[in-house]
Structure formats: C-alpha cells, structure tokens
Chains A and B, each alone.
Chain A
C-alpha cells in the first residue's frame, strides 16, 4: 500500500541531513586543519624574519668571521650524517622487531614486547643523552678500537679513536634507539593490516613463513615502512639535547665516525651556542634553524611522494 506512493514521488536530489552537531564538527575539523597551517606559516615567517639580518650581514660580522654558508654547511653535513647513521641502524632492526611481534611471537609476548617498544618513545631525549654520554660512550670504546684495527682502511673508521667515546658513531646509535619505537610502531600496524587471504594463499602454495613474509607482508607494508622511516628520520634530524650532550663537536667536516673531531648538528649547535649568544649570533643560529626546517620539510615531502607513488602497487586493492 505504501509502495505505490513511494514510487510516485519524484526522487528529490539527495540532500544530506545536517544537524547542529554535524556543522559544529565539520567547522571544528576545518578549523583545526587551518590552524595547523597558520602555525606552520607563523613558524616559517618567524624563522625567515629572524634569519634575514644574518643573511644580509657581511661575513666579518658573523660568528667565526665566516660566510653564512661556511658556518651552516658543516652543520648540515653533521645533521644529515648523524640521521643517516641512525636510520641505517634503526630501520632493519625496527622491521625485524615489527615482524617478530606480528608474525612470530606468541600473542602474550607480542603484546608485552609492543608495549615495551612503545615505552621507549616515552623516555625523554635528555635521558638518552646522559645514557649515551656516560654509559654507551665508554662502553663503545672497545668496539671502536676493534673497528679501527680491522676496518681502519675504511674512511669511516680511520681514527684516531676518541679516548672518551663521545663520537658520531655513538650519537648515531643513540639516535637509532630513539627513532626505533616510531618506525616499529608504524611498521607493526601496517604488517597487521596485510590481507589474511594473501598470507594464506602464499602458505597454501607451499611457501615457508619467511617466503610468505617476503611475498605477501613486506610488499604490502613497504609504503608503511617508508613513511615510518621518514618519521624517524625527521626526529633524528631535529634531535637536540642528546646530540649536544654526547657529541664532541669541533666543527670538522669528516666521514670519520670514531675520532673526537666531529661535525656538530644544527639543532645541537643551537642548543650549545644560544644561551650565551647575542645580536647577529642569534640571527645566525636562527638562519641555521631555517635550513633545518627546510630539510625536514623536504624529507617529509619526499616520504609523501614515495608513499603516494607506491600506493597503487601495494597490493592492498
């Protein structure tokens, strides 16, 4: 009885039902989105405005009586070097930990382990710094001497070995521990999303567990691993206190990872020099901060680009 009347009415153009709550939520979500852009623009504007005096100043007025590029160049080198070492160490480890948690460990152990790895992210970076400087550095002396003795022909281990252990290598290891939880957490969540059918199909075809992971889990999770690694890289690039405390920074540009003569990083250098700086020296430090800001932005953009490009081939669809 009601059916004919329904067919008789012309279908009105689909008008979404909006309630007050919908509008408030949509508005606040949009507001949050705009706010983050405003904050970012504000930070960028601050950096540019404060860096400007250092950019236009003559080299003679800047700290160290060098040009701005000569001042920031070694810092950029040190920043990237420390972050890359951290990434090289942390990424394989994080993938292994994530795979163990998702595919190998018994459920009870997996949950506990995941919790412990997450807990690692809650340790303040200054604690990692103190640990690195006073525990890890002396403990790494033996390893560094060994590397120098047997692998001294590589430029990385040319030595002479630092007697205190406060070297770029130790900074890299400490940063690796710090970025491990982020990469692990992201990789773990992605590995868990691997379609069960893919995994079971691989196993049904006679693949071993390792072959199943290689054929089904890793290709599916690749974009997740990359974005996790890039998040970690962002943290390693910006890490401040741990680097300032651990690194024996004397401004050299060198790939030698085990001597006491190391390039400083941008963030570490700002932490060290800012407290007693005035005038143009402050502007110079902020100019170096601007460079770090741009580097981090580029890294994140690159990560987005890779993730987007791989999306269609990830096997998720």
Chain B
C-alpha cells in the first residue's frame, strides 16, 4: 500500500516538474525572441563593443527590450542586459555600482543624488527616456466618449461617487444617457509605477478631492484589485460598470476617458502625453546633466494629456572604463534618437520625445566619457 501510494505521488510530482520546466523553457523562448530591429540604428558613430548591464523599472521593460534589440542590430559586438527588477531595486543597484545604468520611475531624491554623485565621481545623467500615457479605461454598456473632470475621477476611485448616473458625471457629459449602475473601480493589486503616477495625477489635479499619500501601492481599501496591467484590463473588460487605469498601449480595446484639462477634454494619445514635458518645469539642483521634471499634472495647456508615466534613465557622466562609457553613451544616444523613440512607440506604446527636448538632452549624453 505504502509503495503504491508513494509511486503515484512521485508520478504526479514528476509530471508537474516536467510541465513547469517546459513552461520555463517556453517562457525563455518567448522573451528571447524580442523585437526585430525596426529601421536600423542611427547611432551616429562607429559600432561600439562591450558589455553593460542595467536594471530597474519594469514599466520600461518592453521599451528596453526594443531598444536593446535595435541597438545590438547595428552594434553586434555590444552586449546590453536589462533586469526589470523594479524601480527602487534598480536605483539601489545603480547607486551601489552594480549596474552601469538604471531605469527609474522617479527622479533621484536629494540623499540618493548625493550617493549617485559619489558613485559616479561626477555628475549624474538623468533623462526622461520613456513617457507613456496612462489610459483611464471603462466598461459601461451604452456609454461612449466618456468625459470626466479630475475631481470627479478622484471621487470615483475614492468610492465617493457610487453610481454612473451621478450628477457630477452627468455634468461632464451633457446630453448623454448614463445608466443607473454601480461603479466598480479597479486598481492594481501589485506595487506599480503606474499606480504611483496615476495617484500623483489625482493628488495634483483634483484640487483636494484625493487625500491620500502618493505611493506605488493603491491606498483605497475595499475595491476590485487585479494583478498587473493585463489583470486590470481583463477585470474592466469582464465586469459591467467598471473603471480602471492602465498603460494606454495595453488597453486599446476599451473606452478611454477624456480628462478635463483647462476647458477642454483630452484623450490619451502619445502626442498629447509628450506635451506634458513641454509644460513641466525642470527640477533645480540635480546637476547640469540631469533632466528631472516636476510634472505639471494640473496644467491647463491645450492638447496636453497629464495622466502619464515618466520613467527616467540614470547613468554616470564619467565611467572609469572607456569601453563602458562608449557603450552607455551610444546606447543612450540611440534611445533618445528618432529611431529609438519610434521603436519604443511601436513596441511599448511610448510617447516619442519632441525634437526640442532631444536637442536639450543631447549635450548631457555627449558628456558621457571615460575618466575619474
């Protein structure tokens, strides 16, 4: 009896192990066949060689994969890796000297900046390489082209407005028939830069209607929560009367809320998202090569969509090793180039940087060199 039982248990375990390792292999295969090079790389110089590692924001993962594929297509000798370990982990590794560059959903705080200057033995290069619109998605039968003011959005996600036919929603949507249906706000159940940026928008633009601290964890208890962008999109799609927030590129199939900016309503397009950096002010005291922005979430500038995620690339202006400096410099040059931004727009739904901003950023990247 004993042996038989053990035998059958072992068989189940063996099958399970085989299945999970098959999944692992399949998973690796899928992630390896990342974006084919689109349009070739216009790195503007001779091909470089060397190996560098980066880590950080998981929001940048798709864009980083596209950039690495595009860059290594024209620089076959270069080897770049990016570990999407999370924004905070990426910054920690960068400050500790573990990686040559990092992706971060937030710019460096004062104490981190000091450490970064020590690590780099000089100035820090900080560029807003990845700008992505966050769409506010909804699934309400019979309702299209929903328009909402920031304070209304904040109250909906704070569960203060509970019905779709609430007067506050009707006021933003004159002439539309809104159903008497309960609102189910859907938020991320995992920590996320998207949550942080969305909460930052609610806090800044809602005029006091959002009273919570801005964090990467969702602050309101008791709502519908789902894992990852795909989870939120799935929950909003499957439910009725749902509303959520997700990367615009991942939520094409659902209705997108047009948010009130000034006196008009703006939808989440890459162009409108890229406008935010134009309207925002640079943060002072970060160093000459740091382009950190205090985002103007409450801007009233026409044609601007302020619900965006801005993710930075952090690098040093000086590297002890010449090969590393060369690869980092030409990689960053490729990332902000028209080609690089186009690939990120295609593969990751990013908003391409404007030409003006690119011109501003170029001297900072050109300053990257070997030296101590």
Residues in chain A within 8 A of chain B (CB atoms): 63-64, 118, 121-124, 126, 133-134, 137-138, 160, 162-166, 181-182, 185-186, 189-190, 192-193, 224, 231, 244-245, 247-252, 260-261, 264, 272-273, 275-278, 316
Chain B positions 308-337 with a Cβ under 8 Å from a chain A Cβ: none
Count, chain B residues at interface, CB 8 A:
44
Expressed in whole angstroms, the minimum distance between the Cβ of A152 and any Cβ of chain B is: 16
A166 touches B86 (CB 8 A): no
**CB of B225 closer than 8 Å to a CB of A:** yes
Q: Is the CB of A275 within 8 A of B223?
A: no
- Inside 8 A of A133's CB, which chain B residues have their CB? 231, 234
Assembled-state Cα–Cα distance A198/B216 (Å): 64
Chain B, Cβ-Cβ closest to A228 = B5
Does A190 lie within 8 Å of B223, measured CB to CB?
no
Whether B8 pairs with A185 at a CB distance below 8 angstroms is yes
B15 and A122 contacting across the interface, CB-CB below 8 Å: yes
* Nearest CB on A from B239, distance (A): 4
Q: Are B20 and A124 neighbours in the complex by a CB distance under 8 Å?
A: yes
Question: Is B160 interfacial (CB-CB < 8 Å)?
Answer: no
- Chain B positions 157-206 with a Cβ under 8 Å from a chain A Cβ: 182, 184, 186, 189-192
Closest to B240 in A: A163
Query: Given A163-B241, A164-B238, A276-B88, does the pair A122, B4 have CB atoms closer than 8 Å?
Result: no
Please give, as numbers and ranges, the residues of chain B lying within 8 Å of A248 by CB-CB distance.
189, 223-226, 235
What are 7 inter-chain pairs, A to B, with CB distance below 8 A? A118-B8, A133-B234, A163-B182, A164-B239, A189-B4, A190-B1, A276-B87
Assess the B224–A185 pair: CB atoms within 8 A.
no
List the A residue with the shortest CB-CB distance to B218.
A250
Residues of A within 8 A of B88 (CB): 276-278
- A310 and B79 CA atoms in complex are apart in Å by 63
Find chain A residues with CB under 8 A from B5 CB.
Answer: 186, 189-190, 224
Q: Does B44 lie at the interface of the complex (its beta carbon under 8 Å from any beta carbon of A)? A: no
Chain B residues 202 to 256 lying within 8 A of chain A, measured CB to CB, are 216-217, 221-227, 231, 234-235, 238-242
Complex CA distance for A286 and B238, rounded to whole angstroms: 33
Interface contact tally, CB-CB below 8 A: 126
18 other A-B residue contacts (CB within 8 Å) besides A138-B238, A250-B223, A261-B221: A118-B8, A122-B18, A123-B19, A163-B182, A163-B224, A164-B186, A164-B235, A164-B239, A192-B4, A248-B223, A250-B224, A273-B191, A275-B58, A275-B190, A275-B191, A276-B86, A276-B216, A278-B88
Q: Residue of B at shortest CB range from A134?
A: B234
- In the bound complex, do residue B20 and residue A182 qualify as a contact, i.e. CB atoms below 8 Å apart? no
Chain B residues near A63 (CB-CB < 8 A): 217
Residues of A within 8 A of B191 (CB): 272-273, 275-277
* B residues in contact (CB < 8 Å) with A: 1, 4-5, 8-9, 11-12, 15-16, 18-20, 23, 58, 85-89, 92, 182, 184, 186, 189-192, 216-217, 221-227, 231, 234-235, 238-242
C-alpha spacing A126/B23, complex, angstroms? 10
Cα distance A165–B184 in the bound complex, in angstroms: 12
Give the distance to chain A from B274, nearest Cβ to Cβ, in Å. Answer: 26
- Whether A260 lies near B184 (C-beta < 8 A) is yes
Which chain A residue has the least Cβ–Cβ distance from B84?
A: A275
A189 x B1 contact (CB < 8 A): yes
CB–CB B242/A164 < 8 A: yes
Q: In the complex, A163→B4 CA distance in Å?
A: 46
A22 to chain B, nearest CB (A): 19
**What is the distance, in angstroms, from B46's C-beta to the closest C-beta of chain A?**
38
Taking a contact as CB atoms under 8 Å apart, the answer to whether A181 and B223 are in contact is no
Interface pair A250/B225, CB less than 8 Å apart? yes
Please indicate the chain B residues that have their CB under 8 angstroms from the CB of A165 in the complex. 238-239
Question: B residues within 8 A CB of A137?
Answer: 238
Report, nearest first, the 3 A-B pairs whose CB atoms are least far apart.
Answer: A276-B191, A163-B239, A164-B239
Cα(A272)–Cα(B225), bound, Å: 11
A275 to B88, CA, bound (A): 10
Bound CA–CA A165/B237 (angstroms): 12
Pairwise interchain contact B189-A249, C-beta atoms closer than 8 A: yes
